[in-house]
A and B are shown apart, each in its own frame.
Chain A
Amino acid sequence: MATGTETTTRARLRWGLLDVLVVVFALVPVLWIASLSFKTPATITDGNFIPQEWTLDNYRTIFDTDQFVRALINSIGIALIATLIAVVLGAMAAYAISRLDFPGKGLLVGVSLLIAMFPQVSLVSPLFEIERQLGLFDTWPGLILPYITFALPLAIYTLSAFFKQIPWDLEKAAKMDGATQGQAFRRVIAPLAAPGLFTTAILVFIFCWNDFLFAISLTSTERSRTVPAALSFFTGASQFEDPTGAICAAAVVITVPIILFVLFFQRRIVSGLTSGAVKG
Chain B
Amino acid sequence: MESARKFAEQFTISLDSEMDFDGWRKAARTLALAGAPSSAVTFLTPSAASQFLFTEASSPLPQPAGDTTFNVSKIFVEKAQTASHHSDPDRYDFLYHLLVRVLDEPNLLRIASDSDIRRLEAMVKSVRRDAHKMHAFVRFRKVGEVDASDDEARYVAWFEPDHFIVEREAGFFMRRFAQMNWSILTPKGSIHWNRQTLTVGPPAKRSDAPAEDATEELWRTYFSNIFNPARLKVKAMQSEMPKKYWKNMPEAALIPDLIAGAENRAKAMVAAMPSVPPPTHAAIRDRHWKGAEMGETGNTLPPPANDLETLRKQAETCRLCPLHEPATQTVFGEGPADAPLVFVGEQPGDKEDISGQPFIGPAGQLFDATLQDAGIDRSTVYVTNAVKHFKFQPRGKFRLHQKPNGDEIQTCRWWLGQELKLIDPDLTVALGATAAQSLLGRSVAVTKERGRIVESDEGQRVFITVHPSFLLRIPDERRKADERARFRDDMIAVRELMAA
A joins B in a complex: no
Could you tell me which B residues sit within 8 Å of A by CB distance?
none
Interface residues of A (CB under 8 A from B): none
